[in-house]
Amino acid sequence: MRRIIFLAIILLLSLSYAKILQYPKEVTKGQELHILGPCDGKNVTITAKLYSYELFSQTVKCQNNGFDFRKTITYDLPSGLWQISAGKYVFNVNIKPSKESKYLLIKLLSPSKKVERSSTIKITAEITDAGHKVVDANVYAYLPTGKRIKLSQISEGIYSSEYSVPYNLPLKPWRLIIIATHPCEFCTKKISAGEEEFTVAVEKAKIVLNILEPKVKTFPLEKEETIILKATYANNEPLKNPNIVLQIDKKQFPFNAESDTIFKAIFSIADLEGTASVKISAYDDANNSATLTTNFVFVKDISWYIKHLLPLLILYSAVIFFIFLIFVTILKLLKKRLSAVEKLKLLESELKELQQKYYNGKISKTAYKDAALELKKKIAELKREL
C-alpha cells in the first residue's frame, strides 16, 4: 500500500514538473543535461548554440503535455554559456570543463591572427599531452559559418584541414574553437580531452585587377577605344555580382562582363588633350573592393586634323580662289584701261601731228579734214570706254 502511494506521489510530481520549465544552471562535461518542460504539440525540438555554432538539435516527443530531455555532454562539445531553445522557451546553461577536458594542450599553428575573405586557408593544430605529441586523436574545429569539421592527422601530433573562407563572411572576429579527444586507459573516464578558443580577425577579400588590353597608354581624341580587364579574387576565383567602373577625369564608363573574369569597357574622350588620371573601381555584393589607378595621354592624330581642319582648309581655299579671281579680273580690267590710255595718247599725238602737217601746208585741207575726223571718232570712242 505504501509503495502504491509513493508511486502516485512521484507521478503527481512529474505531472506538475511538466507544467514548469526546469533546467540546470550549470553542467560539467561528462555529466547529463536534463530539461523538463511543458509542450502543446506532439513534439518539441531542443537546440543548443554557442556563439554562431549549432551544437546539436534533437526532437523529443511530448507526453502528458510535457517533455523530458536528457543528453550527456560529451568531451567533443565546447564549454561555455550555451543558448538552448526548447519550443517557445530560450534559456542559458553554463557548460563547464571537467578535469579530463584539460589534459590535452592545443597549439594553433595556422591560421595566424587574421584571415581574408575568399581565401583558402589551412586550420592546423598541434596536440600534446604533458609535452608528448598525441597521435590518433579526434580533433575538431568550429568554422565561422557555424559548422564543425574534423582535422586530419598529417604527421605525429599535427592535425590539419583546408577551409575556403566565404567572400561574404561577416567582418567580425572569428572565435575559432578547437577540441581534441583521445582514449586514455589510465584516466578515470577513460578519455583525455582539450579545448582552446582563438580569436581570428576577418578582413575584406583582396580583388586583383589587371589590364590585358591595350598595352599602350596614349590614345587619339574622339576615337572609341576598348579596355579589356581581368578581375578576380586573390585566389583567382571570379567576383560575386561585380560592379566595375572606369573613370577618366570626371567621366565614367561601365565595364561589361565578357566572361566570369574578363570585362570590357568602351570609352571615347573628345575634350581632354594631354595627361588624364584614370581610375578603375571594382566591387562585389559583399563590399569587397579594389582600385587601380594609372594615367592616359590623349593626343590629336591625323584623323582629328582631317575631321576638324579639312572643312576650314576647303573654306579658306575657296576664299583665296575667289580673291584670286577678283584680282585677275581687276588686273585684266586694269591692263585694258592702260592699253586704252596708251592708245588714246597715241591717237591724240597723231591728231597733233596731222594738224602740224596741215599748218605747214604738207597736206590739203580736204585730206586733213577726213583724217582728223577719223582720228576724232576713234578718240571719242576710247574716251567712252574709259
What are the structural domains of the chain? Answer: 17-96 (2.60.40.1930), 100-203 (2.60.40.1930), 207-300 (2.60.40.10), 308-385 (no CATH)
Q: What is the chain's mean pLDDT, rounded? A: 86
The pLDDT value given to residue 7: 41
Tell me the three cell numbers of residue 352: 597733233
Confidence check: pLDDT of 213 > 80: yes
Predicted confidence (pLDDT) per residue in 241-254, tens digit: 999 999 998 889 99
Higher pLDDT among residues 256 and 224, named by residue:
256
Banded model confidence at residue 302, pLDDT cuts 50, 70, 90: low
Among 4-8, 293-297, 355-359, name the most confident range.
293-297
Lowest mean pLDDT among 2-6, 181-185, 322-326, 372-376: 2-6
- Give the model's pLDDT for residue 216: 82
Tell me the H-state helices in the chain: 2-17, 302-359, 365-385
pTM: 0.70
**Which has the closest alpha carbon to 256: 237, 242, 268, 269?**
242
Say how many C-beta atoms besides its own lie within 10 A of residue 38's C-beta.
Answer: 19
178 pLDDT above the threshold of 50? yes
> CA dist 203 to 197, 209, 236, 303, Å?
19, 19, 17, 50
Mean pLDDT of 345-365: 74
Of the pLDDT bands very low, low, confident and very high (cuts 50, 70, 90), residue 309 is: low
Mean pLDDT of 81-93: 95
DSSP 74-86: -TTSPPEEEEEEE
Dist CA 203 CA 172 (whole Å): 8
Is the pLDDT at 187 greater than 80? The verdict is no
Which one, of 285, 281, 270, lies nearest residue 229 by Cα? Answer: 281
Q: Residue 322 gets which letter from DSSP? A: H
59: helix, strand or coil: strand
C-alpha cell read off for 171: 567582418
From 120, 117, 125, 126, select the one nearest 174 (Cα to Cα). 117
CA distance 179 to 157: 14
Please report how many Cα atoms fall inside a 13 Å half-sphere around the Cα of residue 349, on the Cβ side: 6
Torsion of CA 67, 73, 78, 83, to 10 degrees: 20
Distance CA 162, CA 140 (A): 13
Amino acid 8: pLDDT: 45
Higher pLDDT, 106 or 313: 106
E-only strand ranges, 143-186 = 148-155, 158-164, 174-183
Cβ burial of 136 (10 Å; 0-12, 13-18, 19+) is exposed
Contacts of 82 (CB under 8 A, 6+ apart): 48, 49, 50, 55, 92, 93, 94, 95
Supply the pLDDT for residue 15.
Answer: 47
The pLDDT score that the predictor gives to residue 301 is: 62
Instruction: Give the pLDDT score at 262.
Output: 97
